[in-house]
Structure 1
Amino acid sequence: MRKIWFGQSECCGTAVRYYLMAEEAAGIERYGLQIRYGDETETVPDITTSQRRIQSLLEILMQGGVTPATAREVVEDWLNGAEA
């Protein structure tokens, strides 16, 4: 799995770092993300096959200052909203 730095925001004076995670399986590129905040890390793999969609999601997470503690919930909400 490749880890690509995407950007960062700030929460309570500490940097929140966002990474795009990419992995190829059966010739298809799958994208996920990782968020790091201090000693906390949350990785959510295999969210989409669309690079544009994962970048859009990462932008939303950065703008909202989402930390690892709530990352999975926000991603699930985003996926549910995207399917509606």
Structure 2
Amino acid sequence: MKELLLESPEGCGYRYAILVDEMAVGGLCCESYGIKVTGPDGDSQAVPNITVSAGRIDELAELVCRNQVSPVTLRDVVEDWL
């Protein structure tokens, strides 16, 4: 699994990353995308395999960064977004 670090808002203590992995879909292998947030204390939360659409994960990543989502609330934000 690869992590693509995102630019965090200025003054934000969180680090954001898009997770890139592979998953089997109907006998085919395709890229899947997730999101990870790491707090200033090193606490992190990851939600892998959210979508296979690069455009959709970009939308989610922008939302998460803009709203400075914390590791504690990441899963709730993703579930609401879905």
TM-score, with length taken from structure 1: 0.84
Partner residue in 1 for 2:9: 9
Count of residues in Structure 1 that have an aligned counterpart in Structure 2:
77
CA distance in 1, matches of 2:50, 2:80: 12
Where does structure 2 lack aligned partners over 5 or more consecutive residues? none
Residue number among 21, 37, 44 corresponding to 1:23 in the alignment = 21
Q: Quick check: which one's strand share is greater?
A: 1
Q: Distance in 1 between matches of 2:63 and 2:12?
A: 19
Structure with the bigger percentage of helix? 1
What is the percentage of aligned positions where both structures have the same residue?
38
**CA RMSD across the alignment:** 1.3
Runs of 5+ consecutive residues of structure 1 not aligned to the other structure: 80-84
Question: What TM-score do the two structures reach when normalised by structure 2?
Answer: 0.86
Q: Which amino acid aligns with 2:43?
A: E
